[in-house]
Amino acid sequence: MSTLFPRKKRSTALEILTCITVGVLAGLSGCFNPAFVNQLAGGSVVPIAPGDTPFIHVLVINATQNSTVGMQFGWTPLTQGRNTAEYTGIAPEQQIGFLLPCPVEQIGLGNPNDLTQPAVVVTTEGGAVSIPASAFPLILQRGRDFDCGDTVVFTVIDSRSNGYGVEILPGRVRGSGQTGPFSGPDTYEIVELLLLGTGLPPTPVP
C-alpha cells in the first residue's frame, strides 16, 4: 500500500471523486431540463428579468392542468404606436411573453381600445370560456407593482372559487434583485445590443 496515500485519505479522495463524477456525468447526459437547472440555480444560469436593460418582460405562465390560455394585455403609454398585445394558445406548463421598452406606467389585462373584447380565453375539452377584464381587474402601476427591468408575471391557475375555472395571480421578478454574472447567455443584454446595432434602440432607462 502506498504510504503517500493513507487508507483514510484514499477513501475521502474516492468519495470526492465519485461526487464529481456523478455531477459531471449527470450534466453530460443532457437529461437536466435547462429551465429546471436555471430555476435551481436561482436564475444565475440565464437572467429571468431584464435587470439593467431598458425593458419590462410581461410573462404568462399557464399553471393549469388541462386548459389552454389566451390573454390580451394593455399598457400606457403607447410604445411604437401600440398599447395592446394578444397571445393565444398557451398550453399547460407553458410560459410565453413579450418585452416592452421602458418607460411603461401601467400594465393590465384586456384591450384598452375595446373593453368588450375578452381579456382571457380559457379553452378546455368542454369548450372555450371568454373572461372579461372586469373579472380580474389587474392594473399594475409602475413604482408600486413593477419597475423598469422587472419581469411581470401573470400566472394562470385552476380555481373553483369562481365561474371561470381559473384565477390569475400577478407577480414580479425584480430586476434589481437579480444576481449576475450569468454562466449562460445574457438574454436581454443581447436583445438590447442587437436593437442598438440596427438603429432601433429601446428607450434608455430614465
Query: Which residue ranges make up the site for other proteins (CB under 8 A)?
Result: 11, 14-15, 18, 21-22, 25-26, 29-39, 43, 45-49, 57, 59, 61-63, 80-82, 87, 89, 91, 93-99, 151, 153, 155, 157, 169, 171, 173, 182, 184-188, 190-191, 194-195, 198, 200
Residue 126 C-beta: closest distance to other proteins, Å: 21
Cα atoms in the Cβ-side hemisphere of radius 13 Å centred on 99: 19
3-state helix, strand, coil in the chain (%, to 5): 20, 35, 45
Residue number with CB closer to other proteins (48 or 133): 48
115 or 194: whose CB is closer to other proteins?
194
Cα–Cα distance, 162 to 86 (Å, whole number): 24
For the CB of residue 36, give the shortest distance to other proteins in the complex, in Å: 4
Give 18 or 134: the residue with its C-beta nearer to other proteins.
18
Shortest distance in whole angstroms from residue 176 CB to other proteins: 16
Q: What separation, in Å, do the N-terminal and C-terminal C-alpha atoms of the chain show? A: 69
Q: How far is the CB of 121 from other proteins (least distance, A)?
A: 16
Q: What are phi and psi of 85, to 5 degrees?
A: -150, 150
Per-residue DSSP letter, 113:
T
Of the pair 14, 128, the CB lying nearest other proteins is at 14
Q: Could you tell me the smallest distance in angstroms from the CB atom of residue 185 to other proteins?
A: 3
Question: What is the rounded distance in angstroms from the CA atom of residue 52 to the CA atom of residue 184?
Answer: 17
3-state secondary structure of 175: helix
Task: Write down the H helix ranges in the chain.
Answer: 7-28, 34-40, 187-197
Residue 94 or 134 with smaller CB distance to other proteins: 94
